[in-house]
């Protein structure tokens, strides 16, 4: 396990790499956590490492002790910064990782970050989404159903319930306004053209996010993406009683990717 700090827009993000055994070079996963990140999925990181993958976990700017201010825009930038950092030859050599073989795995808001980052980085080989939160679509739905002040209050309340204490430099109201301002450009549907053709794993649960994820999978397939794998597990948002099943599905999907 290699602790490190990854530069992103003037801030050093706290990070940890689970380095796979052997000389490598190993394919690499960047594991993106949700809002605020109480479930880090580090059991999955250990399982992926055991299967031969290097795994990076990091905390976005303004979260969990990383300096700076948290925002969704910053999180998208931070995911791109993590990819750029690991691709540096010296860093790749130190971690025994393959600079050309990266996969993004995101849970909840981390799934949102994974979609946004992969859409602007064609060298990301594949994306695994675990109960991904299509924040753009959720904001669109709320704003189309209620007047803007009421919709913003509703979105803000939903974000506040997730827990704001580990986040710095933001409020639930400010994050709600940010989602409202980007509700069209941040939808998963708007990223279909950029992502079609790449392997995708889309896992859902009984947490209310299944519909938007299924629509995303359908849109990718209709766009000609034959590499979309979907799985529904009857459990909660944290997959509390299905961790083994979740890990098994993720490892089976990773094993299908070309080495």
By the 10 Å C-beta count (0-12 exposed, 13-18 middle, 19+ buried), 66 is classed as buried
Asked if 246 contacts 203 with a C-beta cutoff of 8 angstroms, the reply is yes
* Domains (range + CATH), the chain: 2-135+189-256 (3.40.50.1820)
What is the per-residue pLDDT for 225? 86
User: The dihedral of CA 40, 46, 52, 57: what is its sign?
Assistant: positive
**Cα(53)–Cα(61) distance, integer angstroms:** 25
Helix, strand, coil percentages for the chain (3-state, nearest 5): 45, 20, 35
Give the Cα separation of 128 and 61 in Å (integer).
22
* Per-residue pLDDT of the chain in tens (259 residues, 90 and over written 9): 999 999 999 999 999 999 999 998 999 999 999 999 999 999 999 999 999 999 999 999 999 999 999 999 999 999 999 999 999 999 999 999 999 999 999 999 999 999 999 999 999 999 999 999 999 999 999 999 999 999 999 999 999 999 999 999 999 999 999 999 999 999 999 999 999 999 999 999 999 999 999 999 999 999 998 899 999 999 999 999 999 999 999 999 999 995 5
CA 251, 84, 170 angle in degrees (round to 5)? Answer: 90
**176 neighbors 100 (Cβ within 8 angstroms):** no
The residue among 117, 113, 108, 128 whose CA lies nearest residue 217 is: 128
> How confident is the model at residue 259, as a pLDDT?
54
Instruction: Characterize 134-145 residue by residue with b for buried, 16 or more Cβ atoms within 10 angstroms of its Cβ, and e for exposed.
Output: bbbbbbbebbee
Q: What is the CA radius of gyration of the chain?
A: 17
Residues 6+ apart with CB under 8 A from 187: 134, 136, 137, 140
How far apart, in whole angstroms, are the C-alpha atoms of residue 40 and residue 26?
22
């Amino acid at each position: 396990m290699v602790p490190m700090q990854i530069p992103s827009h003037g801030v050093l993000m706290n990070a940890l790499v689970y380095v796979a055994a052997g000389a490598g070079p190993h394919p690499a996963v960047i594991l993106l956590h949700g809002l605020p990140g109480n479930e880090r999925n580090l059991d999955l990181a250990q399982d992926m490492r055991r299967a031969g993958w290097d795994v990076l976990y990091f905390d976005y700017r303004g979260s969990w002790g990383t300096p700076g201010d948290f925002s969704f825009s910053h999180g998208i930038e931070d995911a791109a910064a993590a990819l750029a950092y690991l691709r540096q030859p010296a860093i790749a050599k130190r971690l025994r990782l393959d600079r050309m073989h990266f996969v993004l795995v995101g849970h909840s808001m981390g799934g949102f970050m994974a979609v946004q980052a992969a859409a602007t980085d064609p060298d990301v080989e594949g994306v695994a989404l675990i109960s991904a939160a299509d924040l753009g679509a959720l904001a669109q739905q709320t704003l189309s159903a209620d007047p803007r002040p009421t919709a913003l209050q509703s979105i803000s309340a939903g974000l506040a319930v997730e827990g704001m204490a580990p986040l710095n430099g933001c409020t639930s109201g400010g994050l709600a306004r940010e989602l409202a301002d980007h509700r069209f450009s941040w939808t998963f549907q708007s990223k279909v053209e950029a992502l079609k053709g790449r392997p995708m794993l889309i896992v859902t649960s009984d947490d209310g996010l299944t519909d938007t994820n299924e629509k995303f999978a359908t849109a990718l397939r209709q766009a000609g993406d034959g590499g979309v794998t979907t799985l529904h597990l009857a459990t909660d948002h944290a997959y509390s009683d299905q961790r083994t099943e979740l890990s098994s599905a993720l490892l089976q999907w990773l094993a299908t990717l070309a080495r």
